[in-house]
Amino acid sequence: MATDQGDVRRSADPSADPSADPSAGPTADPPAFSARLLLRAAHPGPALAVTVLAGLLAVASSMPGSRVVLVVLAVLAGQLSIGWCNDVVDVGRDRLVGRLDKPLATGALRERWARLACTVAVVACVPLSLACGWQAGLVHLVCVASGWVYDVWAKSTLWSWAPYAVTFGALPVFVSLADDPAVLPPLWLPLAGALLGVGAHLVNVLPDLEDDAATGVRGLPHRVGARWTPVLAVAVLVAASLAVVLGSDDLATGVAVAGLVVVTVLGVAAVLLPGRAPFRAAIGIALVDVLMLVASR
C-alpha cells in the first residue's frame, strides 16, 4: 500500500530557497507537466513493492500468464491511485513541515496533475480488477478503498493499522480468487498478510513520526512512540513469520528453518542494538516474511 516514506530533505536556510519555505505555498510558475515528478508523487517505492508481491503470488499460484498480467496491472493502478491521493490530501501538512521531497508541497508539480492522474488510475483500476473475475475484482477494490480510507482518515487515528491489515490480508485472497473463483486461500495466508501489513505500517511511518506529530497526525505508531514502535514492528513481523511457517504445508523444511533463524537473529538485534538497528532489522524481517510467503504458495 503506497504511503508516506523516504527521507525528508530540508534546506538549511529556507530563506535561500523560496520553494523550501512551507508558508510560501506552491511556486508561481511550476512546469506544465513532468512525468518524473508525477511518478515521485505516487510513492513509487511502496507501490512497486505491493505490486511485485501480488505478481509473485500470482506466478507462484501457476495461473496463466495473461491472468498474471491482469493481476499486476490492477494492483499497480490501485497502488498508484493511493499514492497520488496521499500526496494530494497531505499537501498542506507537507508544506507546513517543509517536505522538499514532495513535488506537490514544493510547488514543482501542479496539484491538478496529481488529481487527474489519480482519477485516471481509479478509472483504470475498476475494469482491470473486475477483469480478474467479479469476486476477485470486488476484493481488490476493497483493498484499494482501504488504502484511500488510510489516506483520508485513518492515518490520524488509533486505527491507522487497520487499512494495512485489510489490504495486505485481502491481497492473497484477491490473487487466489483471480486464479480460481471457487477457491479461497487457507486462513493462515490472509492472517500472515495482515500481520505483514501492520508491520509494514509501523516501519513505514517511523521516519516521519516527528513531522507527523507537528501536523497533528497521531496514528498508532505515534501513540506508541519512537522508542517502542520498532519493537512492536518486529514483534508483529515475527508473528507473521510464525503464521507462514506453522500454517503452510508447502514450505520446504530447509526454507522454514533458514527463515526462522534469520528472523530470530534480526529480532535479537532489534532488541539489543541501539540507533536505527531496530528499524533496519524490522525491514529485514519483512523481506524474509515476503520471501517465505511466496515460497509457501
Query: Could you please report the per-residue DSSP string of 17-77?
Result: -GGG-GGG-S-SS--S--HHHHHHHT-HHHHHHHHHHHHHHHHHTT--HHHHHHHHHHHHH
Q: Tell me which residue has cell 486461500.
A: 185
pLDDT at 252: 92
Q: CA 257, CA 262: separation in Å to the nearest integer?
A: 9
As a whole-number percent, the residues of the chain with pLDDT over 90 amount to 76
* DSSP notation for 238-288: HHHHHHHHHH-SSS-HHHHHHHHHHHHHHHHHHHH--TTHHHHHHHHHHHH
Q: How many CB atoms lie within 10 A of CB 209?
A: 17
Grade residue 23 by pLDDT with cuts at 50, 70 and 90.
Answer: very low
CB 107 within 8 A of CB 30: yes
Name the grid cell of 20.
523550501
Grade residue 2 by pLDDT with cuts at 50, 70 and 90.
Answer: low
State the first-to-last Cα distance of the chain, in angstroms, to the nearest integer.
21
Grade residue 4 by pLDDT with cuts at 50, 70 and 90.
Answer: low
Asked whether residue 26 carries a pLDDT value surpassing 60, the answer given is no
HEC profile for 177-225? Answer: HHHCCCCCCCCHHHHHHHHHHHHHHHHHHHHHHHHHHHCCCCCHHHHHC
pLDDT at 6: 44
List CB contacts of 110: < 8 A, sequence separation 6 or more. Answer: 26, 30, 32
Q: Which residue has the higher pLDDT, 186 or 271?
A: 186
pLDDT at 207: 86
Asked whether residue 20 carries a pLDDT value surpassing 70, the answer given is no
pLDDT tens, residue by residue, 221-269: 999 998 899 889 999 999 999 999 999 998 999 999 999 999 999 998 8
Q: Which of 95, 67, 49, 66 is nearest to 204 (CA)?
A: 49
pLDDT tens, residue by residue, 96-133: 999 999 999 999 999 999 999 999 999 999 999 999 99
Q: How many CB atoms lie within 10 A of CB 257?
A: 11
pLDDT at 142: 98
Asked whether residue 1 carries a pLDDT value surpassing 80, the answer given is no
| The domain made up of 26-295 is a member of CATH 3.40.50.300 | no
Q: CA 41, CA 292: separation in Å to the nearest integer?
A: 31
Mean pLDDT for the chain? Answer: 89
Length of the chain measured in residues: 297
Q: CA 93, CA 217: separation in Å to the nearest integer?
A: 9
